[in-house]
Amino acid sequence: MLLKEASQHQTLNLLTVIISPPLRGVVNLHYHLILTYRCNLKCRYCGGTRDVEPKDLAYSIEDLKNFIEKDRNPVIAFYGGEPLLRIDLIEEIMDSIEAIYVLQTNGILLHKLDEEYLRRFHTILVSIDGVEEVTDAHRGRGVYRKVVENVRKIRERGFSGDLIARMTISWDNDIYRDVFHLINLKLFDHIHWQLDFDMFWEEKEEIKEFLEEYKRGVEELVEMWIEEMKNGKVLGLVPFIGVVNTLLKKSPKPYLKCGSGIDFFAISTNGEIAICPVITEYDFAKVGDIFTCTPDSIKRVHVGEPCTSCFDYPICGGRCLFLNIVKSWLGRNYALICDTVHSLISNLRRVLPEIKKLINNGIISEKMFEYPEINNGCEIIP
């Protein structure tokens, strides 16, 4: 989501985080490739087309190819705006550049993708926020039904990759109800959610009550998740799988789960490279460009305090690089956001012995938690 209220904070001293020199020889990166900042919806979070120029791609496919081909095994995720407004570019890029391809879309134009290209995607993330009334309240009347229809169609047309429901959780969401609803659709391999940043820019008393309800809902989801496990099924709830995968490792190493600023970058329409696709317009987020950088010479940016001293840092990895950088803007809400992460991890630590027992008894396997196979755009930590 575009953080409209943050526009006055364009400049920021990057000394608030840790900047490391380029990691020479390190490639195999994930690139969120912004094809356009235009959108065919006006979602409540960002209002539609982002106020960023240029709106559309202002460099050549050859420029992009010259940059990407220096990466041994790149992952390219088409992003926007709404990337399917530029299906012509998607096809041209996929024909020109060898890569693993991902698509993040609002789903409205999925039916327009040619089957040849559709089947080449490793992962498709589709925005849907839960039950029909909530999704339509967030994204527009009729959006839910169109998205569900198109998701069904791409399966019928031969898409066999990972299909992810990408939820934004806001004031009117009930996390348990909405996730459970998406599970019952039996359309998605995985479900991922993120809290709506726009809720946190004002210090409203209601936020505490909302987050308490959210934490209770997550706890109920964990209980349901474990019950399903007893029958040999690990439901594809990305935040749970990702955290448990880390907890199962004997010596977890702290790392930002989305890879932002480390092995995950965004390429804007002007060729500039940023640490995250939702903040490409901010100077502090820019770490290079496709014309003068190679994949291994992009500046790396790491989270700093208070995350690095936190007892949950080895599991969480810092949650969000952007939030870590702008923590002073959020006031007390920064701690409230962290509290939701501590609660999530605590709930999953609590059931870890039961998960290990199910693994040891052969009812489930540890491999079921080894997700994602590639950095597919899921931040893992909500």
Which residue type occupies 12?
L
Judge whether 20 lies within some domain: no
CATH of the domain at 270: 3.20.20.70
- Rounded to whole angstroms, the Cα distance separating 75 from 369 reads 21
Encode burial over 225-263: b for 16+ CB neighbours within 10 A, e otherwise.
bbeebeeeebbbbbbbbbbbbbbeeeeeebbbbbbbbbb
Tell the residue number behind the tokens 């608030």, with chain if given. 16
More confident residue, 50 or 308: 308
Number of folded domains that form the chain = 1
Return the bridge partners of 165, or none: 126, 191
Under the banding of pLDDT at 50, 70 and 90, the label for residue 332 is confident
Q: What is the mean pLDDT of the chain?
A: 91
Of 104, 381, 128, the closest CA to residue 259 belongs to 381
Residue 19's pLDDT is 53
Least-confidence region, from 125-134, 176-185, 370-379: 370-379
Judge whether 382 lies within some domain: no
Judge whether 42 lies within some domain: yes
pLDDT score of 5 more than 50: no
pLDDT in tens, 262-300: 999 999 999 999 999 999 999 999 999 999 999 999 999
pLDDT score of 3 more than 60: no
Running DSSP on this structure, what letter comes out for residue 237?
B
In degrees and rounded to multiples of 5, residue 75 shows phi and psi of -115, 125
Residue 203's pLDDT is 76
Under the banding of pLDDT at 50, 70 and 90, the label for residue 18 is low
Judge whether 378 lies within some domain: no
Mean pLDDT confidence for 221-240 = 98
Decide: helix, strand or coil at residue 216: helix
- Rounded to whole angstroms, the Cα distance separating 296 from 293 reads 8
Helix (H), strand (E) at residue 329: helix 327-330
Judge whether 145 lies within some domain: yes
In degrees and rounded to multiples of 5, residue 17 shows phi and psi of -125, 180
Judge whether 19 lies within some domain: no
Judge whether 16 lies within some domain: no
| Range of the structural domain that residue 236 is part of | 26-369
- Rounded to whole angstroms, the Cα distance separating 259 from 378 reads 10
Asked if 175 contacts 160 with a C-beta cutoff of 8 angstroms, the reply is: no
pLDDT score of 222 more than 90: yes
* Burial tier of 342 (Cβ tally within 10 Å: 0-12, 13-18, 19+): middle
- Rounded to whole angstroms, the Cα distance separating 333 from 351 reads 28
Judge whether 110 lies within some domain: yes
